[in-house]
Amino acid sequence: MQKIDIYPIYIEPFHVDFTGRVFMGVLGNHLLNAAGNHSQKRGWGISALNENHHTWVLSRLSIEMTEMPRNYQHCQVSTWVESVMKLFTTRNFAIKDAEGNPMGYARSVWAMIDTETRRPCDLVTLYDGDLLNYVVSDEENVCHIEGHGRFRFRDAQLVRTLTTCYSDIDINGHVNSIKYIEHILNLFSRQQMERGIKRFEIAYKAESYMGDTLSFYVQPVDDNEIDVEVRKNISEDSNGDVVCQAKVRFNVSDE
């Protein structure tokens, strides 16, 4: 079986922002759909795994674009497994236009857990190490963006607090991975978002649920980059738990 799958995507009118570029959350959704389909085709889809009390957990996602898909544009997403380690597997993505010209790339890190014990599984030995069959060669692993960075929060400022609602929650009862991306980008001004996003990184740390209070802390890195930490259920007595951390790098303006 081939190791890289290609999925067509189409950018719908309600899926673009006020600049006409696709929302980063929508692009992330396309990537996760491609990942899901690619896994499923190889017997590693969520439904098959669930029968054995296993499920994928997304740990990291980094998307870096030279050009963001625009309204009504037909594009394609290719995806493949880059590596398999004991506790994590890495999956990469390329986003191309209809003619196959690269528009950007993405990297992701996934763990698998046993849904009964909530403990991580050994991906190298699980199902007789079948996952290793899908790792691409170095030549095929074309993903021209940096790996996931590190976060260091020192003097982040609390800028918003919100309570999660119905539309945040997925079929598993968790706030869905894409909604964090939307909430984080909602922190920024019209002027910031006009520049567009060069790179978006997110590290998922803990689940949150309907009715949880999410607090958003912002820490500027430089003129073009801002780190965001999301904590849940902070109180007078507690700093709460870190739910996710993100790094947003804006395009450097042309002027």
Which residues lie near a copy of itself (CB under 8 A)? 12-14, 16-20, 23, 25, 29, 32-33, 36, 46, 71, 165-167, 169-173, 176, 178, 182, 185-186, 188, 190, 193, 210-211
The CB-of-111 to a copy of itself minimum distance in angstroms stands at 18
Q: By C-alpha distance, which of 126, 132, 39 is closest to 84?
A: 132
Minimum distance, C-beta of residue 186 to a copy of itself, in the bound complex (Å):
4
Q: Contacts from 232-238 at CB under 8 Å and sequence distance 24+? A: 232/206, 232/208
Q: Which residues pair with 124 in a beta bridge?
A: none
Of 114, 7, 122, 132, which Cα lies nearest the Cα of 56?
114
Residue with tokens 């909430």: 183
Helix (H), strand (E) at residue 194? helix 190-195
Shortest CB 195 distance to a copy of itself, Å? 12
CB nearer to a copy of itself: pick between 23 and 44: 23
CA distance 166 to 199: 29
56 neighbors 108 (Cβ within 8 angstroms): no
Between 23 and 93, whose beta carbon lies closer to a copy of itself? 23
CA–CA dist 152, 229 (Å, integer): 10
Looking at beta carbons only, is 88 or 209 nearer to a copy of itself?
209
For the bound state, the minimum distance from the C-beta of residue 133 to a copy of itself, rounded and expressed in Å, comes to: 25
Q: Which is nearer to a copy of itself, 85 or 159 (CB)?
A: 159
Nearer to a copy of itself, 176 or 224 (CB): 176
Report the interhelical angle of 24-41 vs 177-185 (nearest 10°): 160
Please, what is the minimum distance in Å from the beta carbon of residue 30 to a copy of itself? 9
- How far out from the chain centre does Cα 149 lie? 14
Residue written as token pair 């389909």: 37
- What is the closest distance, in whole angstroms, from the C-beta atom of residue 179 to a copy of itself in the complex? 9
Please give the Cα distance from 186 to 192 (Å, whole number): 11
Judged by CB, which is closer to a copy of itself: 36, or 120? Answer: 36
